[in-house]
């Protein structure tokens, strides 16, 4: 029985949002390229063991991490789909050292920064993983080069992520709405299942790696301790899955700086900026513990950042303990 039924499909949503108004036509094509790519990735994730795509490529990526075969496959799929959309001028990818500048440097070009497969350590144990995308628009007349990708998060025009979980869900945030779509695997089409997402005011959950408590500085240890005293812990270890649960049910995700990782663990351009944008559009907040994520001026494509993300009030109270403000 198809899930989509009479629900609005992603294609219809995109058409009514942009095409019918003659605005941002290219953005709709970029979103559909992400959706098409995610369908292919979802097939690989589902077939992983059978299709022999588990395991490592025996290579190390720019982050110094072992590349899983699905990391590489997902990266190739999304680079291909986005490049072929005709509306993407450049792609920055967690798995690729330098930006991919798309030939032709299209006029209305969008710039997409992505983590093609988030939660790599969960790939071969059948736990939820995902893909994350931040979308910027190049300035009119700008010839895109490597520096064009170093844009602040608050200049994003849209962000999206996909969770490959017990179902496959795509969440799209634009300046006026956050909407969730579920993939109907029988038709290959995404349909609206979560219109107008806002983070619940109630915050029952916190998500953090408690194993890191011993390497936190004292204020951060105190802040995490306050979350532990008050809320239930849920930690998948795939940012996109932890964030998605907190977005729908209320919660806070924290991967703060620690004494071994003074710049944090997660990536500003591929993880923190896109999910920070989604969180803010849904009424939440995103901070390093000292400043708003979306205000950071990036200096490197692959730079890392501490990340406190989710329910606005709880992010603010956690930040005030970490920063002493």
Distance CA 156, CA 153 (A): 6
Q: By CB under 5 A, name the one of 71, 72, 95, 118 that touches Mg ion.
A: 118
Per CB under 6 A, the segment of 14-22, 103-111, 119-127, 185-193 that binds ligand AHM is: 119-127
Name the segment binding ligand AHM (CB under 6 A); options: 30-38, 116-124, 167-175, 186-194.
116-124
Query: Cβ distance 197 to 282 under 8 Å?
Result: yes
User: What is the DSSP track for 240-306?
Assistant: HHHHHHHHHH-EEEEE---SS-TT-SEEIIIIIHHHHHHHHHTT-EEE-SSSBGGG---SSTT-EE-
Q: How far apart are CA 115 and CA 112, in angstroms?
A: 10
Q: Tell me the window of 10-18, 111-119, 138-146, 153-161 that interacts with ligand AHM (CB under 6 A).
A: 111-119
Which residue from 72, 115, 184, 258 is in contact with ligand AHM, where contact means CB under 6 A? Answer: 115
By a kind-dependent CB cut-off of 5 to 8 A, residue 209 interacts, out of Mg ion, ligand AHM, none, with: ligand AHM
Beta carbons of 179 and 196 less than 8 angstroms apart: yes
Q: Is 10 left (phi over 0), alpha (psi -120 to 50) or beta?
A: alpha
String of contacts with ligand AHM for each residue 240-259, x by CB under 6 A: ---------------x----
Minimum separation from the CB atom of position 243 to ligand AHM (A): 8
Applying CB under 6 A, does 209 fall inside the site for ligand AHM?
yes
C-alpha to C-alpha distance for 11 and 135, rounded to whole angstroms: 18
Build a one-symbol-per-residue string for 81-100: x at contacts with ligand AHM by CB under 6 A, - elsewhere. Answer: -------------x------
Q: Does 71 bind Mg ion (CB under 5 A)?
A: no
**Binder among 120, 131, 189, 287 for ligand AHM (CB under 6 A):** 120
238 binds ligand AHM (CB under 6 A): yes
- Rounded Cα–Cα distance for residues 186 and 4 (Å): 9
Percent helix, strand, coil in the chain, to 5, is 40, 25, 35
Residues forming contacts to Mg ion in the complex (CB under 5 A) are 115, 118
Binding site for ligand AHM (CB under 6 A): 65, 94, 115, 118-121, 209, 237-239, 255, 265
């Amino acid at each position: 029985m198809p899930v989509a039924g009479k629900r609005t499909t992603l294609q219809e949503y995109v058409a009514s949002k942009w095409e019918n108004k003659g605005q941002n036509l290219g953005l709709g094509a970029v979103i559909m390229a992400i959706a098409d790519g995610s369908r292919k990735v979802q097939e690989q994730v589902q077939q992983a063991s059978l299709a022999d795509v588990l395991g490592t490529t025996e290579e190390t990526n720019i982050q110094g991490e072992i590349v899983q075969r699905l990391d590489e496959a997902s990266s190739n799929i999304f680079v291909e789909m986005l490049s072929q959309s005709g509306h993407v001028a450049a792609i920055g990818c967690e798995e690729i050292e330098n930006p991919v500048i798309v030939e032709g440097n299209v006029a209305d070009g969008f710039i997409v920064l992505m983590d093609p497969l988030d939660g790599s350590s969960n790939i071969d144990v059948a736990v939820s993983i995902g893909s994350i995308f931040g979308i910027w628009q190049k300035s009119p007349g700008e010839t895109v080069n490597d520096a064009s990708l170093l844009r602040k998060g608050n200049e994003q025009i849209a962000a999206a992520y996909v969770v490959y979980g017990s179902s496959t869900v795509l969440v799209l945030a634009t300046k006026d709405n956050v909407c969730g779509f579920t993939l109907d695997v029988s038709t290959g089409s995404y349909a609206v299942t979560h219109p107008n997402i806002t983070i619940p005011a109630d915050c029952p959950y916190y998500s953090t790696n408690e194993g890191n408590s011993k390497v936190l500085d004292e204020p951060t240890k105190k802040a995490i301790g306050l979350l532990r005293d008050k809320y239930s812990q849920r930690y998948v270890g795939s940012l996109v899955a932890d964030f998605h649960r907190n977005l729908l049910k209320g919660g806070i995700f924290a991967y703060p700086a620690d004494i071994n990782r003074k710049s944090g663990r997660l990536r500003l351009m591929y993880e923190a900026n896109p999910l920070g944008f989604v969180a803010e559009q849904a009424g939440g907040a995103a901070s390093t513990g000292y400043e708003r994520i979306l205000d950071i001026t990036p200096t490197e494509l692959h730079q890392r950042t501490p990340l406190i993300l989710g329910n606005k009030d709880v992010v603010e109270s956690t930040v005030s303990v970490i920063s002493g403000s």
